[in-house]
Amino acid sequence: MEEIFSLVARELKKMHRAESAAAGIVLTGGGCLLPGTVDLAEQMFDIPVRVGRISGFSHIPDELNNVRYATAIGLLYHGFAHEPQAVAKFRSLSGWWKRLESWISSKF
């Protein structure tokens, strides 16, 4: 985790964004659930750090409403938000979301 955080710090510095993160950092994904991750990030960045949560999605099964799935859910959201043709295509399929929920629930 130290290596990952040092790479993030380096990239923020390169992009001149280190000062814009002064309000704090939000960690997501399964890695942020590792013991000591938040404390390590706070030590390395010297700013407040917290674990994020998924919100604003009403159709996520309870089993998947967990920060460890934030990346997958975020990618799905991003894809639908930036590919309107794909959204229109999927909307025309009856019950596609329910089928997706069912498939995900059966796998996890």
**Which residues span the domain enclosing 70?**
62-107
Which residue, among 45, 39, 36, 37, has the nearest Cα to 10 in the 3D structure? 45
Q: Is the pLDDT of residue 66 over 70?
A: yes
Do residues 34 and 51 lie in contact, with contact meaning Cβ atoms separated by under 8 Å?
A: no
Partner residues linked to 27 by β-bridges: 51
Residue 56 lies in a domain: no
Q: Is the pTM of this model over 0.75?
A: no
Which residue, among 23, 14, 72, has the nearest Cα to 50 in the 3D structure? 23
Q: What's the domain count of the chain? A: 2
**Do 45 and 66 have their domain in common?**
no
Query: Measured between alpha carbons, how far is 68 from 70 in angstroms, rounded to an integer?
Result: 6
Locate 67 and state its tokens: 């920060």
pLDDT digits (tens, 9 = 90+) for 10-39: 988 888 766 666 678 999 888 999 999 999
